[in-house]
Amino acid sequence: MRQSMRLEPLQASLARLGGIDRELADLDATLWQLKPQLEDDRQRAERQMADVDAELARHQREFQQRKATTLKHGIS
C-alpha cells in the first residue's frame, strides 16, 4: 500500500508529461506547416522594404535637385 501511494504521484506526473509531449509534437507540426508561408511573408516584406527604400531615395534626390534649383535661381 505504501509503495502504491508513492507510485500514484509519479504516474500522474508521467501522464502529464505524456500530454505535454503530445502538445509539443502538435506545435512542432504546426510550425513546420507554417514555415513556407512565413518564409514567403518574409521575402515579400524584404521586397516591399527595398521598394520603399528605392522610392525614398528617389524622393530625396528630387528634393535635393529642387533645392539646388531654387538656390541657383534665388527663389525662396
Q: What is the pTM of this model?
A: 0.59
C-alpha grid cell for residue 24? Answer: 509539443
The helix/strand count (H/E) of the chain reads as 1, 0
Residue 2, pLDDT score? 65
C-alpha grid cell for residue 33? Answer: 506547416
pLDDT bucket at 1, cuts 50 / 70 / 90 = low
pLDDT bucket at 65, cuts 50 / 70 / 90 = very high
Residue 71, pLDDT score? 83
Condensed to tens digits (0 to 9), the pLDDT of residues 17-62 reads 999 999 999 999 999 999 999 999 999 999 999 999 999 999 999 9
